Chains A and B, each alone.
Chain A
Amino acid sequence: MTYFHNIGAYFIMVKDMFRKPTKWSVMKGLILKDIDDLIIGSFGIVAFISFFVGGVVTIQTALNISNPLIPKYLVGFATRQSVILEFAPTFISIIMAGKVGSFITSSIGTMRVTEQIDALEVMGINAINYLVFPKFIALMLYPFVISIAMFLGILGGMAACIYGGFSTLEDYVTGVQLDFIPFHITYAFIKTIVFAFVLATVPSFYGFFMKGGALEVGKASTTAFVWTSVAIILLNYIITQLLLS
């Protein structure tokens, strides 16, 4: 029962996010701050993870190809496919659900328990627009993060391939360029935009509507991470089914 209630409340929040907008001169500053916190602040961890997981994907693929009839460039091909289709958009989004999501839930939740949200509402400000909308706009730059993840994932694969002696640079590059389907990129970025929306709104929902004190802020962050991940995994399944099959 509470699931249905929460889903309903979530969609009302999404609608309220666009109502009664905050003055642009104030909103501008909020958006820039959220771009700094959510996007720029995530580059480091995303770059690190992408590079090394790209490398591991390559090593795993190479080690599992024992048949000498299979051409060496397949390693590059497999790395590209898994990085672009799943690893960069989905796997990185789950990581971001932990990093960005818990940041959003705890910062909004803290504002709730210390009555800062009440203070906004007393002044007649639409607190949902004030707090959630800038995060939504900031995360519209999320595809940029994912592009970097794709690039570094493939680069990490290349490094691992050459360093581990699994194939030559030429073979890897040939593989990466093999049978390239532009729609796969479109598919990956459609997913990315949907996940960005989930990353901005689901953690905000759990922060905004939490009750209690500091302990509950921690619990809300955990709950938000779980449900953000669940939403991403389910939407990934649905989008893949709709667009690729």
Chain B
Amino acid sequence: MIEVKGLHKSFGDVHILKDISTTFKKGKTSMVIGQSGSGKTVFLKCLLGLFDYEQGSISYDGKIFGQLNADEKRNIRSKIGMVFQGSALFDSMTIAENVMFPLRMFTKQSKSEMEDRVNFVLKRVNLADAHYKMPSEASGGMQKRVAIARAIVNKPKYLFCDEPNSGLDPKTAIVIDNLIQEITEEYNITTVINSHDMNSVMEIGEKIVFLKDGKKAWEGSKETIFKTDNEAVTNFVYSSELFKKVRKMYLEENES
């Protein structure tokens, strides 16, 4: 479980994150949604410890990150898997080498143990025969799956994904979303996903945090998001005609 309390983050004079508090549970897929520029990536990078913040605390399973010593911090970091918006695969390495990288860096496993684990996770993301391709030879959807494989290869307790399906076609996007959700349940991971894609929110958002201008404007689940009267949320979620209709149908159905 990850607990965020009263988080504030500025760049110079620009106040980006304003007093954000929330919790993300184990084995659940939580989503941070909001318009482009609302602070989702900055928030995630604070969770990752890539950015310092002026105020507030973030705790991982009860341990407050800011109060830990360097070794304990490294220990927590080694349990974090991250899927970057652009996949961030190392382009001088093959797909298998990319996935093996965290194992080579952080474990003392033998070559064959590492290879077994890489084969296992690549199969898990449905890429059983792409080992020797270079990232530049893989499609966007494949790169995302490799990035997920790399993020989970060292059995993380926390998984963060920054817009994991941006730039993918709707069908591939759903495959990626479902993959993340299955992995989250299967390995009991605390997963946080940044997204502005309402399809994925409806598909997998067990907990939803809505950011607006760096503030938490609403939180709930994919069930309650239909019923909310919060104007900021409805303006964002139902900006498309399709979702307006879906909402209307949902509400009518539940009334009768």
Contacts and interface: CB of A to CB of B under 8 A. Distances in A.
B152 to A, nearest CB: 13
Interface in A93-131: 110-111, 114-116, 118-119, 121-125
A25 B111 CA distance: 12
Given A122-B77, A122-B80, A124-B78, A114 B104 contact: no
For the side of the interface on B, what is the size category? 20 to 34
Contacts of A215: none
Nearest to A117: B88
A119 B84 contact: yes
Given A115-B84, A115-B85, A118-B50, A123 B90 contact: no
Max count, chain B CB within 10 A of own CB: residue among A111, A118, A121, A122: A122
Nearest to B78: A124
A26 interface: yes
Interface in B22-72: 45, 48-50
Contacts of B90: 111, 116, 119
Interface in B86-102: 86, 88-92, 102
Interface string A33-61: 10000000000000000000000000000
A219 to B, nearest CB: 20
Contacts of B45: 118
A5 interface: no
Contact of A123 (B91, B92, B106): B106
Interface of A: 22-23, 25-26, 33, 110-111, 114-116, 118-119, 121-125
Interface of B: 45, 48-50, 74, 77-78, 80, 82, 84-86, 88-92, 102, 104-106
